[in-house]
Amino acid sequence: MKNNPFPFLSKTKYLEGLKCSKLLWYEYNRKEDLPEIDVATQAIMDQGKIVGELAQTLYPDGILLQREYDPAKQSGKSLEATKLRKPLFEAGFVHKQAYALADILNPVEKNVWDLIEVKSSASVKDEHYSDVAFQKYTYEGAGLKIRKCYLMYINNQYVRKGTIEPKKLFATEDVTKQCDELIPEIEQNIADMLEVIKKQDSLQIKVGPHCDSPYPCPLEDICWSFLPPKDNVFCLYSGTKKAYELMDLGVLRITDIKEDIKLSDKQNIQVVCHKNGTPHIDKKGIKAFLDTLEYPLYFLDFETINPAIPAYDNSRPFEAIPFQYSLYIVKNKDAKSERHSYLAPGDKDPREEILKRLKTLLGNSGSVIAYNATFEKTTLRHASEAYPEYQSWVASLEERIVDLLIPFRGFLYYHPDQAGSASLKNVLPVITNSSYENMEIAEGNMASIEYSRVTFGKNVSEEERQRVRVALEKYCDLDTKGMIDILAALEKICRFRGDVT
């Protein structure tokens, strides 16, 4: 801002301004304090680009306008291109301080255009209306006649059969009415935003639900730094609304919650644990859970990719496709665990090979233990829909799958260091000696991103590919080995004779 007294307001900045004035101010005045784009966000952006390019193929005579740094130049070039009356990709126009680039401008009648915004999501979301409304406002202000506005998004019911068919992959919704309802507000919104940008100091904006909606704000580390990391009221189980109420009363720590505050049973357990610094243990409940397990025990974990554009035949957009499993088998109480694993080379659809191997390894009896087992069940079910010869086996297998999340989500065990989370990453270090610290890959989304990068990406050396594959093996191994350790810890608790409740 210091160098530019009359900034352009791009669509991205306008949407940020709608989310929060403080974020907008930082974008123009203290950009250096905003964190760099992380790997996960970059992966989403890369996917969006690929989806956008595929959508362009629906307009074979379309013209892609190379982006100019200067909005005025882009605008001049785009205006010139409109004379060709062809579909235009990335045409950019300026109206007063507003600057917008359209994914697709499609000529429909003499001097009239349809505006099409492409999203790599499976539905139209509320925030998309403001996005397209800002574009329509800008183009009409720049002199274009816009007939209709459309959102083009991914039809998640599409099933790939052979080459991708963009006409079937994309769904389109007319959002002209929703945009027209928003347009009258835009001029004033922009004026307010320009005032915000001009301010000398950042605004004092109270944190709230808007920080996480429609996406987590990049300034959360700064704005939310007043909260203690583990004992804060936002760690209350299913307690976001309650946490805001408590924060308004000046209560930030679970340990400071007074007895007269009405909480759920699980939240009350948390308060006692956080105040005493000791775990809550429902031995009876844990024992009842352990009694449901039948040897041999199979500890199973998948890693998956879920591309917006289906990578394989008989798969849908965003479907979780397993590319890796780790499996430990414990045949009886005294037996040592046996490890089996598979990491797909990436040369073909991995689902059939995984189903084939697991069918042999998992036998016909014994409990199959997974953490947050709905994911493993759904992944197997969808994989078997693509390979129907495995469908009846998967149906019978589902009855044997036991969710190790149950004792933790049900608060049969709760330790204050879990900070309200029953995830494997939070439970493992508090109940065993293991943790995900210092792991090169320590999280499922990163496993998916890294696998895709080294398997399907360009310019990846063999050495890099092997390094990542080793990290993937270690990560998936810990997910399953961790379950064995957690189960052993629960068994130990039940053997312990003290009265702990």
| Rounded distance between C-alpha atoms, residue 129 and residue 167, angstroms | 23
Tokens of 110: 């003499």
> Which window, 14-22, 65-73, 97-105, 427-435, contacts ligand SF4 (CB under 6 A)?
14-22
Residue 449 belongs to what H/E stretch? helix 444-456
* Position among 77, 148, 210, 377 found at the interface with ligand SF4 (CB under 6 A): 210
The amino acid that residue 392 corresponds to is S
Determine the 3-state secondary structure of 120 from DSSP: coil
Q: Does 211 bind ligand SF4 (CB under 6 A)?
A: yes
Q: Is there binding between residue 23 and ligand SF4 (CB under 6 A)?
A: yes
Q: Is 205 in the site for ligand SF4 (CB under 6 A)?
A: yes
Helix H or strand E encompassing 179: helix 176-198
Binding part of the chain for ligand SF4, among 169-177, 184-192, 203-211, 392-400 by CB under 6 A, reads 203-211
**Residue 256 CB, nearest approach to ligand SF4 (Å):** 23
Of the pair 232, 452, the CB lying nearest ligand SF4 is at 232
Shortest Cβ 26–ligand SF4 spacing (Å): 7
Determine contact, residues 279/286, Cβ cutoff 8 Å: no
**How far, in Å, CA of 123 to CA of 171, rounded?**
9
Pairing relationship of beta strands 280-281 and 413-414 according to DSSP bridges:
antiparallel
In the complex, least distance from residue 178 CB atom to ligand SF4, rounded to whole angstroms:
24
**Single residue of 182, 193, 197, 217 touching ligand SF4 by CB under 6 A:** 217
The count of residues interacting with ligand SF4 (CB under 6 A) is 12
Six token digits for residue 230: 């583990």
Please name the residue that has the structure tokens 């010869």. 389
- 118-151 in b/e form (b: 16+ CB < 10 A) is bbbbbebeeebbbbbbbbbbbbebbebebebbbb
**Closest to ligand SF4 by CB, 17 or 92:** 17
Site membership for ligand SF4, residue 13 (CB under 6 A): no
Question: How far apart are CB 195 and ligand SF4 at their closest, in Å?
Answer: 17
Return the number of the residue (149 or 233) whose C-beta is nearest ligand SF4: 233
Residue of 417, 429, 414, 356 lying closest to 386 (CA atoms):
356
Give the one residue of 22, 160, 280, 316 binding ligand SF4; rule: CB under 6 A: 22
Give whichever of 23 and 94 is closer to ligand SF4, judged by the CB atom: 23
Among 34, 44, 223, 309, binds ligand SF4 (CB under 6 A): 223
Catalogue the long-range contacts made by 159-166 (C-beta closer than 8 Å, 24 or more residues apart): 159/310, 159/314, 159/315, 159/316, 160/310, 160/312, 160/313, 160/314, 160/315, 160/316, 161/313, 161/314, 162/313, 164/54, 164/309, 164/310, 166/54, 166/55, 166/57, 166/58
Three-state SS at 264 = coil
Question: For ligand SF4, which is the closer residue by CB, 44 or 205?
Answer: 205
Q: Where does this chain touch ligand SF4 (CB under 6 A) — which range of 205-213, 227-235, 388-396, 434-442?
A: 205-213
CB under 6 A: which stretch of 131-139, 210-218, 295-303, 344-352 binds ligand SF4?
210-218
Q: How far is the CB of 220 from ligand SF4 (least distance, A)?
A: 5
The footprint of ligand SF4 (CB under 6 A) covers: 19-20, 22-23, 205, 207, 210-211, 217, 219-220, 223
